[in-house]
Chains A and B, each alone.
Chain A
Amino acid sequence: MRNFFFILTKEFRSYFNSPIAFVTITIFSVLTGYYFYNIFAGFGTLSFQAQTYPMIASRYGALNVTEFVIRPFIGTISMVMLIMLPMLTMRSFSEEKKSGTIELLLTYPVRDGEVVLGKFAGCMVIFCTMLMISFPCVLLIEYFGEPEWGVIITGYLGLLLMGSAFISLGVFMSSLSENQIVAAVLTFACLLIFSLVNYSVGFVGESMAKVLEYLSFNYHMRNFVKGVIDTSDIIYYLLFTVFFLFSSMRSLESKRWRA
């Protein structure tokens, strides 16, 4: 626990000692902010049009800020995460391997699990900062409209779980290679596959379709943005996270017995 704390603070500090944290957090907030502006402004125009032309209003039914702004906004954040989080995780072990600092780290009296958890948590803290920075957008909706807070909360919970899954995968990929680019590309590719795997649902058999759907990130996000917390979704993301954290631990350990 103690060692975990020391590694976590060190990781956190390194992110801010280098430009990594500043760049990723800034780009993240710029991108999400830009998308938010467009979504919100689009919704505003639509509302105006619906006021003047009842035909439009009847086509969309009741115009609802939760459905038209919050839901696409959370979808957008998850898309930006897909691009930004591999940039955050790629250095976690690769950099230590490249610079050789892993040699000292592994000869300290620290368990491999503590190292992996510390690195994971370091990334999580940066990721939570990102999410927090996107939160004023939601407050802006609260100022102008009446969003459903339940959906906002479950949406952010979903993002948090999704982010932890992304980060654990990234940390694992980083533990495989001493090259940061390789780690980032592998992470990005895997995340994309896991996100898009439900695209082929229509072309495969029924049972296979279920499996593919269950494996997909987006499928499990669906309930969260509806305001529904399904245990199977939570278990999916948690299992994903635990599996890759465990794999990173094994990958680190393998250095000790692989001759």
Chain B
Amino acid sequence: MIEVQNLTKTYGGARGIDDISFNVEKGEIIGFLGPNGAGKTTTMRILTCFMPATSGSASIAGFDVFEDSLNVRKRLGYLPETVPLYTDMQVPVYLRYVAGLKGIPWRQINSRVGEVMEKVGLTHMAHKFIAELSKGYRQRVGLAQALINDPQVLVLDEPTVGLDPKQIIEIRSLIKGLQEERTIILSSHILPEVSMVCQRVIIIDEGRIKAMDTPENLMAQIHSTCRVRTRISGPKDSVLEGLRAIDGITKADSVDNTSNSTNGFDVEFIDGFDGSHLIARLAAEKRWDLHELTLAKMSLEDIFIKIVTDEQVKAEDGK
């Protein structure tokens, strides 16, 4: 559905994005992940025909974004990061205007606007001017204008930024609900969001793709060492000694938590081995109370930091 090949964009001398290539299949939700200024917005702007690339090519539904931009734009819904809207218009008036520009037939404009407003939960805001709406509702109007022509491809630039947690959850479920038959690209620097919504994640930093895989695979890739957090009420030193004596444990450290009568410990096992049961057995044998035993899963956040910092370490080694 979306093909991007060797896309490069330079601003004056500065590099925006550098040699980015990826493909997105029909019906896929793909997430762009990266710190601020990584090149997410630049990539999206090129895909939505707002900005030309310096070199490389991109096509949507078989149409080149540069050569055939009108055909691309017909199939597109775009929500820019800043959600620029005409604040002096009322919500339905604005949506009718967008529907008109996006080529909805005259007779269907009103019904289509109604449908979309219901879908994004704007119906009770119909009489308001956009200037009067809160950030969350503006985001919905932005989403509504992107959806109004029922586009095959949706490009959402940081759709949940600046929203409160409740709104974030609503928008997320809304995006998930849009998936049928649609290809969605969304960018974010909020990592759990991407792992929740997207089927594939592209991690991009300093204009380059650092990693591209499903969230599960990315986690599995890094998840080879197993870490356990445990809390045991017993004399700190002897617990530590006992833990260190267990076969397969490479590292055991105590964690300070002065508020509790129990002591916390971080334990790491050798690669590919989960020995939580051994800790439980130890506690039972010594008659210590075991309060907590949790497998510390590496979050996307950790993966992200690991990938980005690994690159830096490599780069420094190279020098």
Contacts and interface: CB of A to CB of B under 8 A. Distances in A.
A52 interface: no
B157 to A, nearest CB: 10
Given A14-B89, A109-B103, A103 B54 contact: no
A136 interface: no
A236 to B, nearest CB: 34
Interface string B84-107: 111111000100011011110000
A72 B101 CA distance: 44
A21 to B, nearest CB: 12
B70 A111 contact: yes
Contact of A3 (B10, B89, B100): B100
B70 A14 contact: no
Nearest to A104: B84
A7 interface: yes
Interface residues of B, dominant DSSP: loop
Contact of B49 (A100, A102, A256): A256
A113 to B, nearest CB: 12
A107 B49 contact: yes
B70 A107 contact: no
Contact of A7 (B53, B66, B93, B101): B101
A210 interface: no
B78 interface: yes
A108 interface: yes
B276 interface: no
Interface centre among B70, B76, B93, B100 (most CB of A within 10 A): B100
Interface in A215-259: 255-259
B96 to A, nearest CB: 9
Nearest to A259: B54
B80 A100 contact: yes
A135 interface: no
A17 B88 contact: yes
B72 to A, nearest CB: 9
Interface string A11-47: 0011001100000000000000000000000000000
A258 B97 contact: no
A80 interface: no
Interface residues on B, range: 20 to 34
B50 A107 contact: yes
Interface string A105-118: 11111110000000
B138 interface: no
B94 to A, nearest CB: 9
Contact of A6 (B73, B74, B76, B101): B101
B69 to A, nearest CB: 7
Contacts of A10: 86, 89, 97
A17 B90 CA distance: 10
A5 B101 CA distance: 9
Interface string B142-155: 00010000000000
Contacts of A207: none
Contacts, number: 74
A101 interface: yes
A5 B78 CA distance: 23
Contacts of A110: 73, 101
A99 interface: yes
Interface in A37-68: none
A108 B85 contact: no
B187 interface: no
B86 A109 contact: no
B76 A259 contact: no
A101 B84 contact: yes
A99 to B, nearest CB: 6
A107 B76 contact: yes
A10 B86 CA distance: 10
Contact of B73 (A5, A14, A108): A108
Nearest to A16: B88
Nearest to B96: A6
Contacts of B50: 103, 106-107, 255
A107 B84 contact: no
Contacts of B136: none
B52 interface: yes
Contacts of A13: 89, 93
B57 interface: no
26 contacts: A2-B100, A6-B97, A6-B100, A7-B101, A9-B97, A13-B93, A14-B86, A17-B89, A99-B84, A100-B80, A101-B84, A101-B86, A104-B145, A105-B101, A107-B48, A107-B49, A107-B50, A108-B73, A108-B101, A108-B102, A109-B74, A109-B101, A111-B70, A255-B50, A255-B51, A256-B51
Among all A-B residue pairs, the 7 with the closest Cβ atoms: A100-B84, A6-B100, A17-B88, A109-B73, A101-B84, A109-B74, A107-B48
Interface of A: 2-3, 5-7, 9-10, 13-14, 17-18, 99-111, 255-259
Interface of B: 9-10, 45, 48-54, 66, 69-70, 73-74, 76, 78, 80, 82, 84-89, 93, 97-98, 100-103, 145
Given A5-B100, A18-B88, 20 more contacts: A2-B103, A3-B101, A6-B100, A6-B101, A14-B89, A99-B84, A100-B84, A103-B80, A104-B80, A104-B145, A106-B49, A107-B76, A108-B73, A108-B98, A108-B102, A109-B74, A110-B73, A255-B51, A256-B66, A259-B54
